[in-house]
């Protein structure tokens, strides 16, 4: 696909990635630990299933591009021990509020770097979770690891614990780019790690890549992509570099003059996309690729892909609970987020309080727009009959103010529209965030300036 520069410049603007709607800047301290406790208790009175996310907030060294909530610590047991002590208190409090054992259909350890924990600490944390929840072994049990700091024995322990999916941060194989971002990790190391994952038979191995990093060129990234294809992971997440130095001060360590321009960045993505498609991968929604038989590819084909704060997912449970600093939960149409800093997170738990900092109770309009954005992001189309069945409202009557945006998307060849469907075009798939932005009520109220990363 060739996209002219004019289109790129027109559409390259700050915008959310819609891992939630309403987006996190719209959440407030009006949602408290009391609300959370009440919702947990209500949840305990239902047969609803659970998706559990645990945020392990430590990394040993800083990657200058990093946009995650993490803390740099030397890899010493004391940090993990203290953390497990506090997250165990959080788990106990949550279990007490729910009041009964619940089944976890999706468990995800993210970070930071969950593999920062020692094997013994991982076992301890897993056992703690298992002591209050039933974990469905056929569910998605996933973990993120850093290939620079993992041994064969740790990979085996992870598998023995019951994790069936493993994901690594790879980003880019080019040595020059790796040096620019302070993350040197040679191909041989990733290859070794990938062999261990295959040896222990994880159902799915994912590699995270980032395009748009400083020093990257289409040529250099093509080589990275070829090396990735040679290893053949089941899934690839190909993230657009979110450059937000006003939020993540350490990104100022990157040389801004080495960042590819918007059109170069898009060319890097398009070339990578072309290579993955030519080599047996299917493009999944906005930024993922998967082998044909991987669950993610099947779910996308069957219209059963979902999106939440962990990104795209296959097996959503009814409700979400987040553990650890900055973790997000979603119960009964209410978002909850924990305090982000470790001292605050520990302080509340020390006082036997749930460390909820903020959240958002969704209005009916929020729920409607969340559904619309979800349909566009996950299925690349929206059926007006389905909308009517969900909300008993006529799509065109409800979205009167959005008609101008929908028309603009048609003029820009991002959408085709008929009486029943909005269908995202191939070009629209690249600019899906722009399409969704027109349905974001909050964004229209106070046009985003520099709060979000750019859509290209």
List of residues contacting ligand SAM (CB under 6 A): 59, 65-68, 110-113, 144, 146, 168-169, 171, 208, 210, 239, 241-242
What lies within 8 Å, CB to CB, of 17 at 6+ separation is 242, 433, 452, 453
At closest approach, how far in Å is the CB of 64 from ligand SF4?
A: 9
- Decide if 38 contacts 96 (C-beta within 8 A): no
- Decide if 317 contacts 140 (C-beta within 8 A): no
Q: Based on CB atoms, which residue is closest to ligand SF4, 70 or 373? A: 70
Separation CA 100–CA 129 (nearest Å): 13
Does 111 help bind ligand SF4 (rule: CB under 6 A)? yes
Q: What's the length of the chain?
A: 456
Residue number of the CB closest to ligand SAM reads 169
Count of residues binding ligand SF4 (CB under 6 A)?
11
Q: Which one of the spans 62-70, 235-243, 260-268, 366-374 is the region binding ligand SF4 (CB under 6 A)?
A: 62-70
At closest approach, how far in Å is the CB of 239 from ligand SF4?
A: 11
* 110 binds, options ligand SF4, ligand SAM, none, Cβ within 5 to 8 A by partner type: ligand SAM
Label residues 326-337 b or e (16+ Cβ within 10 Å = b).
bbbbbbbebbbb
Q: Which one of the spans 41-49, 105-113, 187-195, 322-330 is the region binding ligand SF4 (CB under 6 A)?
A: 105-113
Label residues 117-135 b or e (16+ Cβ within 10 Å = b).
bbbebbebbbebbeebbeb
At closest approach, how far in Å is the CB of 62 from ligand SAM?
A: 11
Q: Which one of the spans 95-103, 109-117, 285-293, 299-307 is the region binding ligand SF4 (CB under 6 A)?
A: 109-117
Does 242 help bind ligand SF4 (rule: CB under 6 A)? no
Strands 319-323 and 50-56 turn out to be parallel
Does 147 help bind ligand SF4 (rule: CB under 6 A)? no
* 324 binds, options ligand SF4, ligand SAM, none, Cβ within 5 to 8 A by partner type: none
Residues 151-190 that bind ligand SF4 (CB under 6 A): 169
Give CA separation, 41 vs 46, 47, 316, 317, 415, in Å.
9, 12, 21, 17, 43
Residues 382-421 that bind ligand SF4 (CB under 6 A): none
Could you tell me the two tokens for 362?
A: 């969704």
At closest approach, how far in Å is the CB of 145 from ligand SF4?
A: 10
Q: Which one of the spans 61-69, 269-277, 291-299, 410-418 is the region binding ligand SF4 (CB under 6 A)?
A: 61-69
Could you tell me the two tokens for 89?
A: 């208190």
| 3-class state of residue 49 by DSSP | coil
At closest approach, how far in Å is the CB of 171 from ligand SAM?
A: 6
* 43 binds, options ligand SF4, ligand SAM, none, Cβ within 5 to 8 A by partner type: none
At closest approach, how far in Å is the CB of 243 from ligand SAM?
A: 7
* 325 binds, options ligand SAM, ligand SF4, none, Cβ within 5 to 8 A by partner type: none
- Decide if 15 contacts 448 (C-beta within 8 A): yes
* 62 binds, options ligand SAM, ligand SF4, none, Cβ within 5 to 8 A by partner type: ligand SF4
- Decide if 1 contacts 267 (C-beta within 8 A): no
* 168 binds, options ligand SF4, ligand SAM, none, Cβ within 5 to 8 A by partner type: ligand SAM
Could you tell me the two tokens for 94?
A: 């949550």
Q: Can you point out the beta strands (E) in 77-164?
A: 102-111, 133-145
Could you tell me the two tokens for 315?
A: 């097996």
Q: Which one of the spans 58-66, 229-237, 367-375, 421-429 is the region binding ligand SF4 (CB under 6 A)?
A: 58-66
Exactly one of 16, 80, 112, 233 binds ligand SF4 (CB under 6 A); that residue is 112
* Residue 256, preceding peptide bond in cis (omega within 30° of 0): no
Does 62 help bind ligand SF4 (rule: CB under 6 A)? yes
Q: Which one of the spans 9-17, 64-72, 324-332, 374-382 is the region binding ligand SF4 (CB under 6 A)?
A: 64-72
Exactly one of 66, 259, 327, 342 binds ligand SF4 (CB under 6 A); that residue is 66
Q: Can you point out the beta strands (E) in 112-267?
A: 133-145, 165-171, 204-211, 235-240
Query: Judging by beta carbons within 10 Å of its beta carbon (0-12, 13-18, 19+), is residue 314 exposed, middle or buried?
Result: buried
Residue 327's nearest CA partner among 129, 57, 40 is 57
Could you tell me the two tokens for 98?
A: 């729910």
Does 146 help bind ligand SF4 (rule: CB under 6 A)? yes
At closest approach, how far in Å is the CB of 175 from ligand SF4?
A: 17
Exactly one of 11, 31, 33, 70 binds ligand SF4 (CB under 6 A); that residue is 70
- Decide if 345 contacts 339 (C-beta within 8 A): yes
Residue 191: enclosing H or E segment and its boundaries?
A: helix 187-199
At closest approach, how far in Å is the CB of 242 from ligand SF4?
A: 12
Could you tell me the two tokens for 11?
A: 């559409």
* 239 binds, options ligand SF4, ligand SAM, none, Cβ within 5 to 8 A by partner type: ligand SAM
Can you give the binding site for ligand SF4, defined by CB under 6 A? Answer: 59, 62-63, 66, 68, 70, 111-113, 146, 169
């Amino acid at each position: 696909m060739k996209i002219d520069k004019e289109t790129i410049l027109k559409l390259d603007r700050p915008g959310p990635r819609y891992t939630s709607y309403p987006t996190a800047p719209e959440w407030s301290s009006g949602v408290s630990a009391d609300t959370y406790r009440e919702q947990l208790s209500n949840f305990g009175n239902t047969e609803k299933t659970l998706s559990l996310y645990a945020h392990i907030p430590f990394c040993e060294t800083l990657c200058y591009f990093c946009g995650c909530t993490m803390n740099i610590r030397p890899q010493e047991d004391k940090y993990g021990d203290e953390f497990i002590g506090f997250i165990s208190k959080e788990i106990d409090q949550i279990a007490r509020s729910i009041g009964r054992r619940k089944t976890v259909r999706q468990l995800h350890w993210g970070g930071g770097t969950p593999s920062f924990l020692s094997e013994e600490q991982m076992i301890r944390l897993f056992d703690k979770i298992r002591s209050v929840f039933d974990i469905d072994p056929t569910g998605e049990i996933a973990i993120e690891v850093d290939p620079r700091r993992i041994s064969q024995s740790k990979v085996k322990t992870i598998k023995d614990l019951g994790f069936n999916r493993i994901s690594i941060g790879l980003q880019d194989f080019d040595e020059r780019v790796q040096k620019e971002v302070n993350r040197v990790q040679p191909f041989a190391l990733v290859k070794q790690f990938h062999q261990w994952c295959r040896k222990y038979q994880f159902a799915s191995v994912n590699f995270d890549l980032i395009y748009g990093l400083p020093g990257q060129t289409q040529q250099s990234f093509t080589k990275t992509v070829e090396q990735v294809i040679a290893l053949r992971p089941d899934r690839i997440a190909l993230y657009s570099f979110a450059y937000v130095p006003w939020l993540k001060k350490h990104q100022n360590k990157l040389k801004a003059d080495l960042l590819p321009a918007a059109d170069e960045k898009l060319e890097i993505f398009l070339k990578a996309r072309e290579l993955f498609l030519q080599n047996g991968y299917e493009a999944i929604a906005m930024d993922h690729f998967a082998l044909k038989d991987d669950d993610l590819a099947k779910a996308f084909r069957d219209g059963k892909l979902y999106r939440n704060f962990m990104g795209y997912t296959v097996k959503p449970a009814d409700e979400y609970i987040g553990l650890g600093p900055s973790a997000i939960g979603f119960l009964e149409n209410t978002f909850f987020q924990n305090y982000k800093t470790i001292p605050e997170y520990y302080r509340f738990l020390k006082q036997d309080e749930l460390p909820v900092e903020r959240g958002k109770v969704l209005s009916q309009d929020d729920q409607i727009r969340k559904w619309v954005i979800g349909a566009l992001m996950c299925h690349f189309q929206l059926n007006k009959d389905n909308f009517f069945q969900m909300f008993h409202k006529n799509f065109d009557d409800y979205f009167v103010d959005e008609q101008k945006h929908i028309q603009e998307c048609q003029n820009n060849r991002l959408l085709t529209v008929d009486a029943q469907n909005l269908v995202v075009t191939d070009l629209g798939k690249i600019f899906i965030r722009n399409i969704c932005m027109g349905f974001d009520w909050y964004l229209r109220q106070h046009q985003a300036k520099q709060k979000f990363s750019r859509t290209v």
